[in-house]
């Protein structure tokens, strides 16, 4: 017992100097040794245990300066730790969880059988002002950028340049003119595109020795025929859809997009002129290429392109609207029906492509008009809203300000490191993140959460300030952001009947971001955008019914939820603001959770459900085994699309299997998850580590 006494005397002194690094490490080591000796001594366990607890808490106060601010390395309050001081903090934290558990599990009792006495240490622990946490999360899912396909153009011209030297035929117009002069009885304009193609191909072979590949001229002939006959655009495209590959179709529609963009209607964009309101039809856009009247703006062009792709037999064609530097933009995303892992995006006439990419990463805009906002809004070929997805930046800001993702299939493809402090109803943190496209985000954030009326009303929100910098295929981007989020959750009281309970819940959430945006072209160094104080926003609403059932022995618990997700948007993208706004259903999630306590050490968890959308449904299943009093967890997951032709940008659009393990050891939390995408043959690893002081 002499060793214990000597050890206690060392620790009872509060005059430990921060500069004495070696002494501090020795003291911490002695404290660990002391606690082991005390716990092994049955004779005076309770009294000695109290001393260890008190001394350890004293040590924590010194390190964190909660009750001894004069001992802090910076008495002015600027909390900065050197590497050595951080080591001390880490050593003390190893005791933290142990001490808390001891206070709870080993109360001071009267050995004669009297009442349990009040332990002042328990109250002291409850009054801690804050906890310090550090977290690192790595995601192996890295995105290399879009394939740059270039502009849509005619197909016959490049082939002729390579194969028609010396023929005297310089372009399609030359071939047509020669045919008409030698066949005056045939009016090509009265024939279908297919009939024109056959006659011209045979004419080129017979008269000029040209071995023109079958259907090579179809896109060019269709382009000219539609420009001359705007009202026949749909029937013309339907007539040739089986004569073109997906690439030919995409290039044809991109060629139209380039022509429409060349006749951009600036008055409509500014909200003036005869075409400021309503919808510009595809026939009017086609006429505009011949200078008959003004054309449209980006949303009109993207809608026309979606309609053209639909007539060409490519139903998975949608308009994507997003925030750009200087305003908002809309373009087309279309998916190869023969290879759903291949996606092409059209910005007027410029095409980029994705292969073997899923989720909201598919929607990234790797052009000179990059996405720099919080969300993507998706519209079908009729212009009606069908879905809304967050950008990775929007996901990251929401997480850093305390937001929770309620879509069970939404993945987080970014990596993140953070350090912060946590109080009873608030948190503050510094964070560094990297998106899957390589942008680096550095910032600070704080969030709060308050409950009123016994869970009747919950309010949470937060603020973040950050910078984002990165380089994409064509441009370098630099963004400074001020982000704010607030959410209200309203719950009805539970209606309980025996072991069953049910209630209703509604939520509303708003997000706002103020940004300075700079975009520089990589090839020239020219500044394309330098915009200040730009506003981006997002709103979400949900309505849910929640229920639960508990077995009489409390070993089995079942919960179920049906939740509908809504968002505010234009009634039709082409009409824009003039067409009015409304609430639109994004998705409905139906899920059931199950928990069963197998014995005192093992519990089985499972949940399954479906996510229902207008443009595709998905199902998911997850199961887990929890042991070691909840400190260790093993999980398995499976998700699968229920519709064959789901667009790849939707969460749950591919079949995936996954396994994971998580373990808590004192203040340390570790997790490792592996997921295999069976449709694109891609592996993804997610590694997480968290420490709480």
Residue 338: the pLDDT is: 93
**CA distance readout (Å), 143 to 123, 204, 336, 437:** 50, 46, 20, 5
C-alpha–C-alpha distance, residues 559 and 502, integer Å: 10
Three-class SS state of 439: coil
How many residues would you count in the chain?
A: 693
Q: Would you say 666 and 692 are in contact if contact means Cβ atoms under 8 Å apart?
A: no
Q: Which of 170, 89, 184 is nearest to 130 (CA)?
A: 89
Q: What are the phi and psi torsion angles at 69 (to 5°)?
A: -60, -25
Which helix (H) or strand (E) segment holds residue 243: the answer is none
| DSSP string covering 6-69 | HHHHHHH-----TT-HHHHHHHHHHHHHHHHHHHH-STTHHHHHHHHHHHHHHHHHHHHTSS-G
Q: Which of 137, 220, 286 is nearest to 669 (CA)?
A: 137
Distant-in-sequence contacts of 20-24, Cβ < 8 A, 24+ apart:
21/84, 21/88, 24/88
- Plot region of 10 (φ>0 → left; ψ -120 to 50 → alpha; else → beta): alpha
Q: Locate all alpha helices (DSSP H) within 209-271, ordered by sequence.
A: 218-228, 233-240, 246-262, 266-269
Q: Would you say 467 and 404 are in contact if contact means Cβ atoms under 8 Å apart?
A: no
Q: Which of 358, 354, 435 is nearest to 393 (CA)?
A: 435
Q: Which residues of the chain have pLDDT under 50?
A: 1-46, 48-49, 63, 65-81, 98-117
Q: Locate all alpha helices (DSSP H) within 65-192, ordered by sequence.
A: 83-105, 120-126, 156-163, 172-182
Q: Would you say 121 and 82 are in contact if contact means Cβ atoms under 8 Å apart?
A: no
C-alpha–C-alpha distance, residues 301 and 264, integer Å: 9
Which helix (H) or strand (E) segment holds residue 614: the answer is none
Q: Would you say 324 and 371 are in contact if contact means Cβ atoms under 8 Å apart?
A: yes
Beta bridge partners of 626: 603, 633
C-alpha–C-alpha distance, residues 196 and 188, integer Å: 6
Q: Helices 2-12 and 45-64 sit at what angle, rounded to 10 degrees?
A: 30
C-alpha–C-alpha distance, residues 471 and 179, integer Å: 51
Residue 618 structure tokens: 């998905």
Contacts of 282 (CB under 8 A, 6+ apart): 230, 233, 303, 304, 307, 308
Q: Which of 115, 227, 131 is nearest to 173 (CA)?
A: 227
Contacts of 680 (CB under 8 A, 6+ apart): 341, 356, 357, 358, 654
**Exposed (0-12), middle (13-18) or buried (19+): which is 357, by Cβ within 10 Å?**
buried
Three-class SS state of 480: strand
Contacts of 237 (CB under 8 A, 6+ apart): 222, 226, 308, 311, 312
Using only C-alpha atoms, the chain has a radius of gyration, in whole angstroms, of 33
| DSSP string covering 498-531 | TTEEEEEEEEEEEEEEEEEEEEEETTT--EEEEE
Q: What are the phi and psi torsion angles at 378 (to 5°)?
A: -115, 135
């Amino acid at each position: 017992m002499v060793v214990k006494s000597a050890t206690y005397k060392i620790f009872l002194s509060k005059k430990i100097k921060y500069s004495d690094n070696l002494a501090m490490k020795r003291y911490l080591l002695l404290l660990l040794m002391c606690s082991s000796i005390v716990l092994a001594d049955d004779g005076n366990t309770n009294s000695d245990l109290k001393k260890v607890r008190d001394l350890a808490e004293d040590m924590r106060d010194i390190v964190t300066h909660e009750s001894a601010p004069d001992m802090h390395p910076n008495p002015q309050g600027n909390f900065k730790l050197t590497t050595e001081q951080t080591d001390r903090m880490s050593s003390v934290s190893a005791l933290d969880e142990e001490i808390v558990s001891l206070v709870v599990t080993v109360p001071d009792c009267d050995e004669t059988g009297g009442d349990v006495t009040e332990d002042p240490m328990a109250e002291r622990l409850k009054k801690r002002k804050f906890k310090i946490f550090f977290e690192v999360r790595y995601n192996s899912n890295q995105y290399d950028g879009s394939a740059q396909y270039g502009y849509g153009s005619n197909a016959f011209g490049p082939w002729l340049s390579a194969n028609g030297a010396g023929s005297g035929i310089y372009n399609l117009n030359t071939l047509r003119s020669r045919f008409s002069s030698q066949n005056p009885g045939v009016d090509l304009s009265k024939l279908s595109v297919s009939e024109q193609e056959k006659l011209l191909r045979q004419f080129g072979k017979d008269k000029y020795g040209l071995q023109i590949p079958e259907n090579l001229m179809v896109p060019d002939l269709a382009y000219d025929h539609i420009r001359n006959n705007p009202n026949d655009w749909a029937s013309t495209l339907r007539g040739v859809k089986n004569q073109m590959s997906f690439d030919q179709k995409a290039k044809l529609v991109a060629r139209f997009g380039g022509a429409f963009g060349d006749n951009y209607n600036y008055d409509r964009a500014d909200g003036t002129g005869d075409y400021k309101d309503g919808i510009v039809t595809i026939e009017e856009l086609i006429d505009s290429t011949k200078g008959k009247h003004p054309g449209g703006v980006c949303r009109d062009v993207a809608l026309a392109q979606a309609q053209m792709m639909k007539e060409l037999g490519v139903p998975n064609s949608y308009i994507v609207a997003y925030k750009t530097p200087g305003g908002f933009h809309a373009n087309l995303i279309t998916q190869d029906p023969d290879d759903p892992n291949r996606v092409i995006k059209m910005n007027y006439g410029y095409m980029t492509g994705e292969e073997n990419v899923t989720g909201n990463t598919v929607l990234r805009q790797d052009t000179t008009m990059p996405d720099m906002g919080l969300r993507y809004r998706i519209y079908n070929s009729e212009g009606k809203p069908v879905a809304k997805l967050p950008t990775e930046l929007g996901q990251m800001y929401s997480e850093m300000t305390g937001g929770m993702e309620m879509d069970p299939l939404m993945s987080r493809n970014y990596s993140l490191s953070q350090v912060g402090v946590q109080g009873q109803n608030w948190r503050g943190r510094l964070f560094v993140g990297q998106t899957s496209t390589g942008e680096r985000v550095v910032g600070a954030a704080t969030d709060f959460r308050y409950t009123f009326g016994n869970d009747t009303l919950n309010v949470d929100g937060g603020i973040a300030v950050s910078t984002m910098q990165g380089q994409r295929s064509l441009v370098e981007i630099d963004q400074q952001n001020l982000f704010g989020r607030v959410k209200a959750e309203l719950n009805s009281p539970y209606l309980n009947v025996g072991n069953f309970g049910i209630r209703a819940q509604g939520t509303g959430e708003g997000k706002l971001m103020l940004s300075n945006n700079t975009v520089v072209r990589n090839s020239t160094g020219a500044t394309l955008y330098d915009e200040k104080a730009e506003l981006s926003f997002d709103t979400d609403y949900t309505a849910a019914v929640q229920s639960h059932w508990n077995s009489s022995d409390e070993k089995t618990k079942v919960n179920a939820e049906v939740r509908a997700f809504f968002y505010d948007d234009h009634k039709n993208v082409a009409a824009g603001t003039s067409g009015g706004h409304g609430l639109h259903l994004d998705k409905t999630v139906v899920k059931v959770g199950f928990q069963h306590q197998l014995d005192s050490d093992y519990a089985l968890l499972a949940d399954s459900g479906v996510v229902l959308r207008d443009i595709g449904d998905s199902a998911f299943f997850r199961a887990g085994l929890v042991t070691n009093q909840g400190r260790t967890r093993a999980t398995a997951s499976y998700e699968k699309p229920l519709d064959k032709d789901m667009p790849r940008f939707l969460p749950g659009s591919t079949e995936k299997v996954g396994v994971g393990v998580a373990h808590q050891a004192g203040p340390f939390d570790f997790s490792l998850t592996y997921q295999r995408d069976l449709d694109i043959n891609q592996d993804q690893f997610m590694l997480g580590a968290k420490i709480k002081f």
